[in-house]
Amino acid sequence: MARLFGTDGVRGLANGELTADLALGVAQAAAVVLGQGRSAEARRAQGKRPVAVVARDPRVSGEFLLAAVAAGLASSGVDVLDAGVIPTPAAAFLIADIDADFGVMISASHNPAPDNGIKIFARGGTKLPDIVEDRIEAAIGKPKLTPTGAEVGRIRRFADAEDRYVLHLLASLPHRLDGIHVLIDCANGAAAGISPEAFTDAGARVTVIGDDPDGININDGVGSTHIDKLAEAVVAHGADVGIAHDGDADRCLAVDANGHIVDGDQIMAILALSMAERGVLNKNTLVTTVMSNLGLRLAMAEHGIDVVQTSVGDRYVLEKMNENDFSLGGEQSGHVIMREFATTGDGILTGLHLVSEMARKGKGLHELATCMTVYPQILVNVRGVDHHRLNEDDVIARAVQSAEAALGSTGRVLLRPSGTEPMVRVMVEAADQDTADRHAHELAEVVRLQLAL
C-alpha cells in the first residue's frame, strides 16, 4: 500500500480520498502517538490534559475536516484550542508559543480548492519526522484512547491567536516599513486576515488583492501560483513592491515596481546579504535545495557566504538547518525559513523582512535583486519511463558528463527521478536560454530512449 503521509502531510481530494472518517482516525492516532509524550505525561501528573492547537485555511472542506480532527482529539482526552482560519506558519508558531503538545493544520497550501490536507506538527511547532508519521499511520484503526467523564478533552476557541502571531511578526523586524507602498496578493487564502494588518502595523501603505476568500476561490487565478495578476496590479497602482502568498501563506514571491518577478532564490540572496551584514547569518551559511539557481550560489560565493544544498523539499532544508544551527534557508518556490523566528516557511515573515531591507537600504527591490544574476533554467519532465533505473544507466551518465563539460562553469545539469510517478525531471541551467533548451531536450531524449518502459 502507498504511504498515507506524503511530503507535506496527508493530502487528497476532500470527501474523495480525504474523508471526515479518515480525518477522525488520523486525529485519534495522533493522540495515541503524540499525546503520550513527556510533556503530556507531565500535564497529567498535574491533573491536566494534553493540549493541541488546530487551525485551517479558508477552504470550505476545512470546516468539516477540522470538526472531525477536533472531535478525534477531544474524544481521545486532548484539550483542543481552535485557532480558526490562520496561516500554516501561524499555527506552528502558536504551538511553540503556548508550549502545546502538538498541533494540526488543515490545508492543501497552493493546491486548488477541492483538495485539502492534514499537516501535523510536533511540540515546538516542528514538522514530524518520517518515523513518527509512520507510527501515526500504523496506529490508525488500532485501539484508541477512550477516556470518559472529566478525562474527555475540551474544545475551546483560541481567542487571541491572530494577535499573538502579528505581534511576533512585528517584533522580528530590524527596520520599519514607513513610506513604502506594498501591494499584497493574499491568494484568497489564510493570509487575508493577517498579512495586510501586519504590513500596515509595520508602517507600510498597503493595497490588497485576493483578500475575499469564500471557501472555493482559494488560489483561483491569484496568489503565488498566478503571480502575473500581482505584477499587473503593482504597475497599475504604482506600488513600490508586490508580495504574493499561497493559500496557507507559507510561501512568498515578490514583484518589483516594474512588474518583474523576484523569486525565492533572489529573496534568499537579498536576505542572506542583509543578515550577513548585520552579523546574524549563523556560520555565514545559506541552505538551499539542488533546484536553486546557479546564480544564487555564485552570488553567495562572491560575498563569502557558504551554500549548503539539500534534496528538494522544505522539510529537508529545515532538517539541515536544525542539525547545524543555520539561520536561513529555503526553496526557489518561495518557502523561506528564518529559523530565529519560525520553524517552517513563513510567507508573511519573509515578505516583511524583504520590504524591511528595502526600507533599511533606501533602495527599490529591483536594485536589491541585482545582487544575483539569474541563469536561464529549463525543466523538462520525461514521463512514462522507468525512473528507478536512472542512476544505473551508463549511457545517460555519459550524456550528462558531456553536457556538463560543454557548459563548464556557466551551467549546470540535474536529473531527478520522481518520487511518485514514472517520470524523470531534467533540469539544465546555462548562460543563455537557447543553450539551456538545447542541452535539456537532448538529455530528455536520451532518458526517453534509455528508460523506455
pLDDT tens across 93-145, in order?
A: 999 999 999 999 999 999 999 999 999 999 999 999 889 999 999 999 899 99
Exposed e or buried b for every residue in 58-84, given b needs 16+ CB within 10 A? bbebbebbbbbbbbbbbbbbbbbbbbb
What's the pLDDT score for residue 313?
83
pLDDT band at 57 (very low <50, low <70, confident <90, very high): very high
Cβ neighbours around 303 below 10 Å, total: 13
DSSP assignments along 7-40, one per residue: BTBEEEEBTTTB-HHHHHHHHHHHHHHHTTSHHH
pLDDT at 35: 85
Average pLDDT, the chain: 95
Cα 378 versus chain centre, distance:
22
Q: What is the pTM of this model?
A: 0.91
- Looking at residue 47, its pLDDT comes to 73
Cell of 91: 499555527
Phi and psi at residue 314, in whole multiples of 5°?
-65, -25
Reported confidence tier of residue 39, pLDDT bands at 50, 70, 90? low
Cell numbers describing residue 317: 532544508
* Predicted confidence (pLDDT) at residue 161 exceeds the cutoff of 80: yes
Say if CB 109 and CB 218 are below 8 A apart: no
Edge-to-edge, what's the strand order for the sheet holding 253-256? Answer: 205-209, 181-185, 241-244, 253-256, 261-262
The model's pLDDT over 307-325, given as tens digits with 9 standing for 90+, comes to 999 988 888 899 999 999 9
The band of 85, judged by pLDDT with boundaries at 50, 70 and 90, is very high
Confidence grade of residue 45 (pLDDT, cut at 50, 70, 90): low
pLDDT at 420: 67
Residues designated as active site: 109
Distance of alpha carbon 132 from alpha carbon 34, whole angstroms: 9
